[in-house]
Amino acid sequence: MKKSILMLAAGALLLATPSCKKGENDPALSLSSRKARISGEWNVASYESVSHSSGGGDSWHNTSSFNGTTITGTWSQTVGGTTTSGNDPDITTVSLFDFIINKDGTYTMNRNWVTVSSGTDFWTGFDYTDTQTSTYTESGSWSFVGKAKDEYKNKERVVMNATHTVSTSQTTTVTQIGGGLTDTSIGNTNTSDDTYEIGENAAIFDIDMLKGKEMTLMVVSGGVDKYTTTTSGGTSTVSETTDESTMTIQLTAK
């Protein structure tokens, strides 16, 4: 009797457990399906984005980082043998960044942020500060991507097909006009409301890790563009531009 009970328990465990982990850092054992684990409300806890392009002996490099509250960035370039670099001067504070992924195959993404930038007006010489308040909402459908031979396992990737996006932005400018006086200009609120067919505005994410409370998504893209110029005398010149970018997004369950 004890042996039969143990065999039944083992059989139930095998039926409840996915046959193998999909993501590189998935848990070795899970009683929940991948669809059940990805469904829910997720906060974007952080992300790291790196892009690099080069061509003709020149190169450009940019980074963007989000720590759950603020976005910071860096840049560097080598042009004509001279390298320059710096930090993004804008200060961006994010108050909301989340995904709501539903079991019925629909999703919503929300992001609210404020970007503060400053400078000196070219014509007046007055210093100014721009404060831009922005919102973005995206909704659509999601699905797992099937197995790709010699590269991806089944359900190792997810595609987000945006069918509706709404974005707003409004900028307030404060100008230092001298003598301790300031001038404040409140700009109009601009709204963009767009709809798309399935496949028109889609993004594919690699699911590097999917646990009950954590998820890591990655986007890797890039390629080589070749340009050929042929003169009237028949001489051809080939130039290449290489682009590479990666983004890693860390999410935590609400």
Residues 79-118 pLDDT 10s: 999 999 999 999 999 999 999 999 999 999 999 999 999 9
Residues 227-245 pLDDT 10s: 788 777 778 888 889 999 9
Confidence category of residue 3, pLDDT binned at 50, 70, 90: very low
Give the integer Cα–Cα distance in Å for 212 and 214: 6
Does 10 score more than 60 pLDDT? no
Give the integer Cα–Cα distance in Å for 36 and 155: 12
Residue 27, phi then psi, degrees to nearest 5: -65, 145
Q: What is the DSSP letter of 12?
A: H
Residues 154-191 pLDDT 10s: 899 999 999 999 999 999 999 999 888 999 999 999 99
Confidence category of residue 77, pLDDT binned at 50, 70, 90: very high
Mark out the alpha helices in the chain (DSSP H runs). 2-16, 34-38
Does 11 score more than 50 pLDDT? no
Q: Give percent of the chain with pLDDT exceeding 90.
A: 71
Q: What is the DSSP letter of 187?
A: P
Q: CA distances (Å), 245 to each of 58, 63, 86, 145, 200, in order?
A: 17, 10, 19, 21, 21
Report the chain's C-alpha Rg in angstroms. 25
> What pLDDT, on a 0 to 100 scale, did the predictor assign at position 8?
40
Q: Which domain holds residue 244?
A: 2-253
Give the integer Cα–Cα distance in Å for 208 and 205: 9
Give the integer Cα–Cα distance in Å for 226 and 107: 38
Amino acid identity of residue 18, one-letter, is P
Q: Is the dihedral of CA 244, 47, 145, 99 positive or negative?
A: negative
Cα atoms in the 13 Å half-sphere on the side-chain side of 24:
7
**Average pLDDT value over all residues in the chain:** 88
Question: Which residue from 115, 133, 129 is spatially nearest to 185, judged by alpha carbons?
Answer: 129
Does 119 score more than 50 pLDDT? yes
Indicate the SS3 state at residue 81.
coil
Q: Which residues contact 3 (CB under 8 A, 6 or more apart)?
A: none
- Structure token digits, residue 151: 């590269």
CB-based contact 221:14 (threshold 8 Å): no
Q: Is the dihedral of CA 25, 28, 31, 35 positive or negative?
A: positive
Give the integer Cα–Cα distance in Å for 25 and 32: 16
Give the integer Cα–Cα distance in Å for 122 and 89: 18
Number of domains forming the structure of the chain: 1
Give the integer Cα–Cα distance in Å for 198 and 43: 25
Give the mean pLDDT of 62-67: 97
